[in-house]
Amino acid sequence: MNILLKSAKIVCPENKELHLKKRDILIKKGIIETIGASLEASSNTKILEKENLHVSLGWFDSSVSFGEPGFEERETITNGLFTAGKSGFTDIVLNPSTYPVPDTSSDIVFLKERGQGKATNIYPLGTLTKNAEGIDLAELFDMKNAGAVAYYDFKKQISNPNLLKIALLYAQNFEGLVYSFPQDGDIKGKGVVHEGEVSTKLGLKGIPAMAEELQIARDLFVLEYTGGKLHIPTISTSGSVKLIAEAKKKGLDVTCSVAVHNLFFSDETLEGFDTHYKVSPPLRTKSDSKALIKGVKNGTIDFVTSDHIPMDIEHKRVEFDNAKSGSLGLETAFGGLNTIFELDETIGLLTKGRERYQITSPKLEVGSKACLTLFNPDIEYTFKVEDILSTSKNSMFVGANLKGKVYGIINNDLSTL
């Protein structure tokens, strides 16, 4: 595939010579052959011109769920990867949210094979424990050899601190990354939203910030004892930011992420009892959102993720207490972040994180593999159901005003443009 990108504004802070410069980019057979002010195309080259075309390194998302195997009605791997590509992501980490869960090397091989031949690369997570039941460790080393990039019992707490201790100790033998979901289930109880003024007004059972912060404090204490590599996905409170900042000052090898929706929305949006806003962890207060944004800016929070979770209508169009948690996020990740942050910050957030998973970062230079995202950062629009590419339609961003649209990606000598 030969493509000539015309008059593309390059957003790549790592490459000071090209950053914010308008250039033509010639790609031949998946490799960046030439970058110049005015390039000519041969007869077998497709010329690509787009309004206000911007280009950056391909984007990375550390928390994406599909449905296959087991929940194909929510999302298949094929359509999920297409959606990811159209949303600007060249690489995604796939959550172990399927049935059965991927807890063996053969499960990881299946997921990798299903993702082959696509523009977006798939990097599966294996579960930390067998059947994600939190009792016995799964085949961590075998899954690592099969392609698993980390271990996570998806959205489930590790109740037994000794299990976390053993996992962190064992995984050090092969530089394995252990996840721990930040929520104490006993304190959460039957809570469905953030515990505060809004939950009291609505009469919904609350999840106190302490449910998250107590779990994080315990996990960090264990990490300080064992060493190893710990990732805390999708934090949501100001107290969590403080705990992780203190741990990093101690030199602990801990990273964390936050979902775009926890930066963009607060629990005040729940007043319509719309189950699309039911997520785990829950939407918190505006002051929590401000603290999270500050944590992103100062580097305490390492990654921002879409936390993309397709959910079929049968599990959303029910009473709030009975609805499943989760919202789509891939299609709105860029528009949401670009509404909150400056463009350079947004692109920096969307391109960082691969190293934590031992994934090689791409480069935007002549001779490198073309791993690019193409977008227009200045379009302002209201997100609609018609903009959703996922099989499920459970997006809390429907009706939200966003800034920036994605044209697609070029990766693996393929394109979603």
Across the range 270-285, mean pLDDT stands at 96
**pLDDT above 90 (res 1):** no
- Residue extents of the structural domains in the chain: 2-55+366-379+401-415, 57-357
Residues annotated as part of the active site:
307
Mean residue pLDDT of the chain comes to: 97
SS3 assignment, position 27: strand
For the stretch 280-292, pLDDT in tens is: 999 999 999 999 9
Superfamily of domain 57-357: Metal-dependent hydrolases (3.20.20.140)
Q: How confident is residue 40, by pLDDT bands cut at 50, 70 and 90?
A: confident
Across the range 353-375, mean pLDDT stands at 97
For the stretch 314-338, pLDDT in tens is: 999 999 999 999 999 999 999 999 9
Distance, CA of 237 to CA of 240 (rounded, Å)? 5
Show Cβ contacts of residue 126 under 8 Å, excluding neighbours closer than 6 positions: 96, 102, 103, 107, 108, 138, 139, 140, 143, 144, 148, 150, 151, 152
Q: Around Cβ 132, how many Cβ atoms within 10 Å?
A: 21
For the stretch 84-112, pLDDT in tens is: 999 999 999 999 999 999 999 999 999 99
**pLDDT in the model for residue 231:** 98
**pLDDT in the model for residue 14:** 87
**pLDDT in the model for residue 41:** 82
Q: How confident is residue 33, by pLDDT bands cut at 50, 70 and 90?
A: very high
**pLDDT in the model for residue 58:** 98
For the stretch 124-153, pLDDT in tens is: 999 999 999 999 999 999 999 999 999 999
**pLDDT above 90 (res 42):** no
* Architecture field, domain 2-55+366-379+401-415: Roll (2.30)
Distance, CA of 412 to CA of 183 (rounded, Å)? 38
Distance, CA of 241 to CA of 220 (rounded, Å)? 13
- Give strand pairing partners of 408: 374
For the stretch 235-269, pLDDT in tens is: 999 999 999 999 999 999 999 999 999 999 999 99
**pLDDT above 90 (res 115):** yes
For the stretch 165-217, pLDDT in tens is: 999 999 999 999 999 999 999 999 999 999 999 999 999 999 999 999 999 99
